[in-house]
Amino acid sequence: MIYPIQIIGCPVLRKIAPDITPDYPNLPQLIADLYETLEVTEGVGLAAPQVGVSVRVFVIDASPFADEDPSMANFRRTFINAHIEERMGDKEYFNEGCLSIPGIHEDVLREPKIRMRYVDEQFQPHVEEFEGIAARIIQHEYDHLDGMLFTDRVSPLRKQLLKSKLNAIQKGRFKANYRYKMAR
């Protein structure tokens, strides 16, 4: 099933998503639906809160970045109950966008390397380090689990300049070539 994308202003995007247990109902279906939705929206990552499901699950398909980094060609990963344990290195800028904030792109500062604890689809625990584009996408999706959006992370000046644009989006003044859901 392809979910509609929750747009900035929807309360679920500001909630802290809880961990789930192995008996969480229909988890394989949720994960399959996240990948299907990611594919049609042509995104590189999608977090469950973005489809209105407040749980600590996100999926990434970084293959569009294969030109820049060949190791991303097969980077298709599911992260459940993710918790970043450490962020390492000097912060770097990277231009980000988000399906939940259509039409907006901003340079965002983030650390280039992280260590993250998570469980996979079989609920096997992992602690893994990521860097480069993977670390970038993971940190963006991870923020969604903590009720944060990339526009929260821009400079105070950029934030001021963005204000009216974000308000316009919340009033429905945007274009998106995928199904979406606005706050009531």
Six-digit token string for 128 = 């893994």
Range 70-99, binding Ni ion (CB under 5 A): 98
**Min. distance of Cβ 50 from Ni ion in angstroms?**
6
Six-digit token string for 112 = 């280039």
Contact string 97-116 vs Ni ion (x = CB under 5 A): -x------------------
| Sign of the CA dihedral running 78, 83, 89, 90 | positive
Range 119-178, binding Ni ion (CB under 5 A): none
**Partner residues linked to 110 by β-bridges:** 92
Six-digit token string for 182 = 């606005």
Judged by beta carbon, residue 95 or residue 122, the one nearer Ni ion is 95
Choice among 68, 85, 106, 141 that is catalytic? 141
Q: How far apart are CA 37 and CA 46, in angstroms?
A: 8
Judged by beta carbon, residue 78 or residue 123, the one nearer Ni ion is 78
**Min. distance of Cβ 67 from Ni ion in angstroms?**
21
Judged by beta carbon, residue 118 or residue 142, the one nearer Ni ion is 142
Question: Which residue number is nearest to Ni ion in terms of Cβ?
Answer: 98
Judged by beta carbon, residue 72 or residue 104, the one nearer Ni ion is 104
* 96 a catalytic residue: no
Is residue 121 within 8 Å of residue 146, measured between CB atoms? Answer: no
Strand (E) positions, the chain? 5-6, 45-47, 57-61, 76-88, 92-96, 106-110, 113-119, 125-131, 180-181
Catalytic residues, by residue number, are 141
What are the residues binding Ni ion (CB under 5 A)? Answer: 98
